[in-house]
Amino acid sequence: MLREALQLHGGYGYLNDYPLERWVRDSCVHQILEGTNEIMRVIIARHLLEKGGTLEQLL
């Protein structure tokens, strides 16, 4: 959603005058620090399956 908002604002989305710039920057940092979404999905799925969950519960 942030990428769409950035496209909507064009060059203004990169200016410090607007909060969108900080939101986009922070979202990129969170992905780097926390890991990609795909890695997090694998970790969560592995944890649930080790606890006796089934594949159907994950879907």
**34 carries an active-site annotation:** yes
The Cα–Cα gap between 30 and 24 comes to 10
Considering the candidates 4, 21, 34, 56, report the single residue annotated as catalytic: 34
> DSSP strand E in the chain: where?
none
Residue with tokens 């064009």: 10
Q: Which residues are catalytic?
A: 34
